[in-house]
Amino acid sequence: MVETAWYFRLFYVYILSFVIHGLLHVIIKAKRMGPPAGKFWIIVALIGVIVGWVLMWFVPFSINPAFWTGLVIIVFGEVVYALGYIAMREHPEKKKAVVDWGIYKVSRHSHILATIICLLGVIVMGWNPTSVMYKLLWVYFVIFSIACHFYVINEEKVNMEKFGQEYVDYMNRTPRYIGILKSGKSSKP
């Protein structure tokens, strides 16, 4: 294997993606965007991020078609993030507790979807199917995506308790993820 310069590691791309998420949150002032639901999920998220960073340190990238494809995917994910943050700003004209406008009309969990899209873009940037670390990164991606799905299920339970029938109605009319069938409940929690 040819040694790659220290700055051509996916680790830095992933860090930059996190910085962009934070800047979007601050610039757009998404006041309604709350913290993760529960200490367990905060710990899971931190462990997941640390594992991802470690794996990505060992996966280099170069400027090639995979890099540009990954960059396009990341930009798309960041746009989805921005649309979610825009919807989560304070809207005095909207008196509802549940945010069901903007991107939240087409996806109940666009922020999770954006996270997965950005991670996919980062992984595509390092395209190297012969590398063991790269293959481990794909295993990480699958496990991360599954964990995100379970987080979403937990978040929906918390939101049903917090917002009641308004959230249940929202679940019945809006897909959990873009393009995926609705999976709401038809009665009060």
Residue closest to 52 by CA, chosen among 144, 182, 127: 144
d(CA 94, CA 91): 5
Across the chain, how many H-helices and E-strands are there? 6, 0
DSSP 187: S
pLDDT, tens digit, 9 for 90 and up, residues 57-79: 888 888 899 999 999 999 999 99
- Identity of the highest mean pLDDT range in 77-81, 155-159, 174-178: 77-81
DSSP 9: B
pLDDT, tens digit, 9 for 90 and up, residues 87-129: 877 665 566 778 788 888 888 888 889 999 999 999 999 899 8
Per-residue model confidence (pLDDT) at position 124: 94
Between 68 and 38, residue with greater pLDDT? 68
> Which range (1-5, 22-26, 47-51, 160-164) has the least confidence?
1-5
Per-residue model confidence (pLDDT) at position 189: 42
Interval 43-65 mean pLDDT? 87
> Which range (4-8, 44-48, 60-64, 99-103) has the least confidence?
4-8
Global pTM value: 0.82
